[in-house]
Amino acid sequence: MKIFLLEDDYLLNKAITQYLTSKGFTVSSFYNGSEALNAIMDDFALMILDIDVPDMNGVSVLQEIRKLYPAKPIIMISATIDIDMISKAYEKGCNDYLKKPFDIRELELKIRAFTQTAVNSMTITEGLEYTLADQRLMFHSRQISLTPMEKKLFHILVENKGRTISMELLERAIWGMSGDAIHLRQLVARLRKKLPENTIQNKTGSGYCIV
């Protein structure tokens, strides 16, 4: 299970990373907001964000993450006692908050609570099932093989089922940049060939969605 960690304190970052790794998690750690933002296209089961980090604070990173992942579990960590900043973090969509200093074992308990209650599989359309944990797509019990890019696109659309995601957001999430509309259309076309008709819908001028 992949965990996203944004923490600029080198020793705390390493301590959290080493502890969670010892408990069977895979941790990708970052030290500043801009660096972290460029990595949100990767699939993570849960995200841990420090508020006070360089370049872009954790609340701003949270806000950007929520544009693509409205339901992704996010835990904020901070030494701040500014209740307005903490309130803003909740307003922007964080699920929980830990005040520093904290016991790393408490962080692990919160992570496990969120990941154990997460929806594991879901029905996309009749006969089409998707397992969130291992990103496995099945159609009438037959697995559909997806390339890494197809898998990334499909996962984003599934996590936002019923919501149209703009082409610009999809481009940035998949390639780390905007302005790759032709490649996105080609990727959508290839993915559609592997899915039941009308699974992915094009909202003209807006983007793509799975209803």
Q: What is the pLDDT of residues 35-81, one digit of tens each?
A: 888 877 667 889 999 999 998 999 999 999 988 888 789 999 999 88
Question: Distance between CA atoms of 135 and 122, rounded to whole angstroms?
Answer: 11
pTM of the model: 0.72
Q: Token pair of 26, please?
A: 């895979």
Tokens found for residue 149: 């890019």
Residue with tokens 């996309």: 124
Burial class (CB in 10 A: 0-12, 13-18, 19+), 199: middle
- Structural domains of the chain, with CATH: 2-117 (3.40.50.2300), 121-209 (1.10.10.10)
What local confidence, expressed as pLDDT, does residue 97 receive? 95
At 182, list the tokens: 């032709």
How many Cα atoms sit within 13 Å of 3 on the Cβ side? 27
